[in-house]
Amino acid sequence: MTDYKNFTVETDADGIALVTWDMKDRSMNVFTEEVMDELDKIIDQVVADAAVKGAVITSGKETFSGGADLTMLQKMLSVFAAEQAKDEDKAIQLLFDNAGRMSQLFRKLETCGKPWVSAINGTCMGGAFEMSLACHGRVAADSDKVKMALPEVKVGIFPGAGGTQRVPRLADPQSALQMLTSGQNLSPKKAKGMNLIHEIAAPDQLIETAKAMIKNGLKAVQPWDEKGFKLPGGPVYSAAGANLWPPAIAILRRETYGNYPGAAAILKCAYEGLLVPFDTALRIEQRYFTQIMRSTEARMMIRSLFVSLQELNKGARRPAGVPETKFKKIGVLGAGFMGAGIAYVTAKAGIPVVLLDRDMASAEKGKAHSAGLMDGAIKKGRATAEQKDQLLSLITPTVDYKDLEGCDLVVEAVFEDSEVKKGATQQTEAVIASDAIFASNTSTIPISSLAQNSSRPANFIGIHFFSPVDKMMLVEIILGEKTEDKAIATAIDYVRAIKKTPIVVNDTRGFYVNRCVLKYMAEAFQMLIEGVPAAMIENSARMAGMPVGPLALTDETAIDLAQKIMKQTIRDLGEGAVAADQFALVNTMVDTHGRHGRKNGKGFYDYPEKPAKKHLWAGLKDLYKQQDADKIDVEELKQRFLVTIALEASRVMEEGIVTDPREADVGSILAFGFAPYTGGALSYIDGMGVKQFVELANRLEGKYGAQFKAPALLIDMAAKGETFYDRFNPYPKADKAA
């Protein structure tokens, strides 16, 4: 046996080397420079040893590999930026050379003259799957834990280690392009159906099956390196090609609106690469990868959607020195839609949960919500009946507060009524331990106000979920004036336990997310009042990168809820706190036309019975005089949506509501889908340049009003040439983020 730091190599009596990848200092195997150096040496070792007939590579962990460590790419970008200041041409060449390192390594593996088989025993992502595709044989374990994907497009880049060339040379081109441009996960069955793996084996037979491929005479030559190789879908310049490529370009444009350079580069790589010999194709891929790595979108998406997201998921904002809470029991007050969802995600994490409501029928109905979600998962093949029974066994419906005894944490999700919440708080605190944490899921009432009902405000905190709880990955943790570190740490531990992403927010009306969302909706209301056709409003928002148009989003959350929020804001802050013409629009929709949103089948959209699809209400055009659509600047509409949200995010930072730019960026993407290609609301500003952003905001303010007034913070940052990640550096003890 030969030991490396990250691999072991053991050759059996048949001359087959088993290469086991197991990084001792990591929970998951990832490609680093050190790993690539070692794999390079192992390939040489296999080739040099005449007794070795071939090699099987597998993982010593439950998962195969998460792919490349994207912090390595961040380092590459930092080196590029430093060199660029001295010599741009040299910097680009250096980036090009670094971008090709992994691709060259995998090409060396597949042309080494001896057969390699990848034995995939768990999740196999990104660069690890590209390595597997470079192997001459691929076997995956028959397990729900095995997922294969090339998900790089989701963080602004693309599979740049041969993925764009090997996949369309193995699979039919339509399936290949769909997989590459979407980053979709493949099950073993799906991967085999696409010809991306050769065999599926029982988990305990995985290695033997892989070795058998070599024993049975597996060729050490890839199909594309053999004379006479034909593409699965036929030549690019053919009738079949003519039916594939133009629609593929159109579909990508429809899905991305041209906002994702990495996705467009995939089509270019595949199209151009399939016209030339394989080694030339890899150089084309390397060229495009170098280009995409230099894009603002890639830099911001890698930072927010990989590095920052990973850091927050690991508890970057958790107070130091507080012991981690291992939850024995969680209480949920209120078994309505939100409370039932919270109970579901808690039980899904394997934590016993007590679900309390005012009567047993309501509590049981809340538990039935979990049963329904599990039935849906079973129908889709994502869960089993046994898993459903196990999850439901962890949920105890009740009407008795005494059943909350022993809870480490209680989450209150009762009606948005201060008196109801006061009673729930006091009855709970009468039975739970003095050091247990009480959390409110309120979305509208300040946490410090609710904490006045508590006899232990230090242990009182907000845990704000988004609907639907089972699907939304973000949770806002809101601090009251007296909230102490133990409560913060416990809340973060809980959010991490249920596999969601926590951001920590100081107390304010609407917290962080809702403040931004309300600005998004308000700008749409203003556009309607100006006479912008509703279809242009919705389409321009989606073109800007938002997943849902603002009018559709308002319908989902309910127009009458928007009315209630406006009325409450006026009561609390005075009439000047709400735009009078927007308030009149909402009152007209609710009071005059009875249009409350999706819940009553009519809002800004009409919701006919299926199979008919929802469509914008024709009456919208009669509310205000319509502008000539041909004279409206769509680019400006797009800017208005993104700028109004980004301005509110910067105000939240200025007020100290959010203090870490990572949380503002990740929160804006996970909570309401703020144009992911920007890297988030603050990265949108940083990526444009604060000075340029302030100039844009000033132009919009001059045309459309005070909602676009840049706060003093931005004006100061622009004058000093700062970014948010300079001003609010989340890495004070280390180098700043790239």
> Tens digits of per-residue pLDDT, 350-361?
999 999 999 999
Q: Are residues 565 and 673 in the same domain?
A: yes
Q: Are residues 597 and 670 in the same domain?
A: yes
CA proximity to 77, closest of 100, 95, 93: 95
Q: Are residues 121 and 201 in the same domain?
A: yes
Q: How far apart are CA 42 and CA 19, in angstroms?
A: 8
**What is the reported pLDDT for 252?**
93
CA proximity to 62, closest of 203, 187, 210, 207: 203
**What is the reported pLDDT for 587?**
96
Residues 6+ apart with CB under 8 A from 152: 67, 126, 158, 159, 160, 163, 183, 262
pLDDT band, residue 669 (cuts 50/70/90): very high
Q: Are residues 391 and 280 in the same domain?
A: no
Mode of pairing for the β-strands spanning 7-11 and 16-21? antiparallel
Q: Would residue 57 count as lying in a domain?
A: yes
- Return the minimum-mean-pLDDT range out of 135-139, 439-443, 483-487, 675-679: 439-443
Please count the structural domains in the chain. Answer: 3
Q: Are residues 543 and 678 in the same domain?
A: yes
Q: Would residue 305 count as lying in a domain?
A: no
CB atoms within 10 A of CB 471: 10
Q: Are residues 482 and 530 in the same domain?
A: no
Q: Are residues 289 and 343 in the same domain?
A: no
CA angle 45, 51, 55 (to 5 degrees): 55
Q: Are residues 197 and 336 in the same domain?
A: no
Q: Would residue 308 count as lying in a domain?
A: no
Task: Find tokens 């170098």 and name the residue.
Answer: 290
**pLDDT at 510 exceeding the cut of 90:** no
**pLDDT at 737 exceeding the cut of 80:** no
pLDDT band, residue 371 (cuts 50/70/90): very high
Question: Which CATH number fits the domain that encloses residue 617?
Answer: 1.10.1040.50
Calculate mean pLDDT across residues 303-332. 94
**What is the reported pLDDT for 738?**
42
**Residue positions annotated with a catalytic role:** 464
**What is the reported pLDDT for 71?**
82
Average pLDDT of the chain is: 94
pLDDT band, residue 736 (cuts 50/70/90): very low
Q: Are residues 225 and 89 in the same domain?
A: yes
**What is the reported pLDDT for 442?**
85
Reported as a single tens digit per residue, the pLDDT across 680-725 is 999 999 999 999 999 999 999 999 999 999 999 999 999 999 999 9
Q: Would residue 385 count as lying in a domain?
A: yes
Share of the chain above pLDDT 70, in %: 99
CA proximity to 599, closest of 558, 551, 563: 558
Q: Would residue 170 count as lying in a domain?
A: yes
Q: Would residue 322 count as lying in a domain?
A: no
Q: What is the DSSP letter of 151?
A: G
Q: Would residue 244 count as lying in a domain?
A: yes
Q: Are residues 488 and 541 in the same domain?
A: no
Q: How far apart are CA 536 and CA 549, in angstroms?
A: 10
Q: Which residues of 276-295 are buried (b: 16+ CB within 10 A; e: fewer)?
A: eebeebbebbbbbbbbbbbb
Q: Domain containing 111: what range?
A: 2-294
- Return the minimum-mean-pLDDT range out of 198-207, 426-435, 440-449, 720-729: 440-449
Reported as a single tens digit per residue, the pLDDT across 528-567 is 999 999 999 999 999 999 999 999 999 998 999 899 889 9
Question: Which CATH number fits the domain that encloses residue 466?
Answer: 3.40.50.720
Calculate mean pLDDT across residues 31-46. 96
CB atoms within 10 A of CB 638: 21
Q: How far apart are CA 52 and CA 46, in angstroms?
A: 6
Share of the chain above pLDDT 90, in %: 88
**What is the reported pLDDT for 82?**
86
Reported as a single tens digit per residue, the pLDDT across 105-117 is 999 999 999 999 9
Distances (CA, A) of 403 to 507, 522, 569: 30, 44, 38
**Which of 294, 322, 339 represents a domain boundary (last residue)?**
294
**Which of 294, 317, 338 represents a domain boundary (last residue)?**
294
Q: Would residue 613 count as lying in a domain?
A: yes
Question: Which CATH number fits the domain that encloses residue 51?
Answer: 3.90.226.10
CA angle 489, 490, 491 (to 5 degrees): 90
Q: Cα torsion at 346, 349, 353, 359 (round to 10°)?
A: 50
List % helix, strand, coil for the chain (3-state, nearest 5): 55, 10, 35
Q: Are residues 358 and 474 in the same domain?
A: yes
**Which of 462, 481, 510 represents a domain boundary (last residue)?**
510
Q: Are residues 63 and 35 in the same domain?
A: yes
Reported as a single tens digit per residue, the pLDDT across 243-299 is 999 999 999 999 999 999 999 999 999 999 999 999 999 999 999 999 999 999 999
**pLDDT at 410 exceeding the cut of 70:** yes
Q: Tell me the sheet residues that pair with 177.
A: none
